[in-house]
């Protein structure tokens, strides 16, 4: 089966979880584009959100996975980019609904907040759940409109 290419990145606080999730995705047959960081040395999370957003914009990946300490800062940074719909996810229901209703293309986790087993389940759901379309198309389109 042909699988998506997923761009992944984290800051230092998300490095361990990012490594775990990248391994899972490779094992599941996804092509993983790992854009760093590559250690627990302190870095700035916006730089890594920007790298994943660029990979999506350039067509190098179809989805993104971002991890920082809370998932919040890196999601804020990613959502500054047109075309990025980044969601902080804490549970399977959120992972499913942000795909079905928001057509989220980037999932963000808090490496200091979420258990790794929960994050692994959430990621699987996020990657396997399609957008529902229908009434949600109009709403998602509004996310791309200038404010």
Show which residues are catalytic: 68, 101
User: Rounded CA gap, 39 and 146, in Å?
Assistant: 37
Q: Is 77 one of the binding residues for ligand RB5 (CB under 6 A)? A: no
Q: Is 43 one of the binding residues for ligand RB5 (CB under 6 A)? A: no
Q: Is 108 one of the binding residues for ligand RB5 (CB under 6 A)? A: no
Determine contact, residues 11/45, Cβ cutoff 8 Å: yes
Angle at 78 between CA 34 and CA 70, to 5 degrees: 80
User: Rounded CA gap, 85 and 80, in Å?
Assistant: 9
Considering CB under 6 A, how many residues would be counted as binding ligand RB5? Answer: 8
Part in contact with ligand RB5 (CB under 6 A); list of ranges 18-26, 52-60, 66-74, 116-124: 66-74
Binding interface with ligand RB5 (CB under 6 A): 11, 13, 45, 68-70, 72-73
């Amino acid at each position: 089966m042909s699988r998506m290419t997923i761009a992944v990145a984290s800051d230092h606080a998300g490095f361990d979880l990012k490594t775990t999730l990248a391994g899972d995705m490779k094992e599941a047959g996804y092509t993983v584009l790992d854009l760093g960081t590559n250690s627990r040395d302190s870095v700035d999370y916006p730089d890594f959100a920007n790298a994943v957003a660029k990979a999506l914009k350039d067509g190098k990946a179809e989805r993104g996975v971002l991890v920082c300490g809370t998932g919040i800062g890196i999601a804020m940074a990613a959502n500054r980019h047109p075309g990025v719909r980044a969601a902080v996810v804490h549970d399977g229901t959120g992972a499913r609904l942000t795909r079905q209703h928001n057509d989220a293309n980037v999932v963000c986790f808090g490496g200091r907040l979420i258990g790794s087993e929960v994050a692994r389940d959430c990621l699987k759901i996020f990657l396997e759940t399609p957008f529902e379309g229908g009434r949600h198309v109009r709403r998602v389109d509004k996310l791309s409109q200038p404010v």
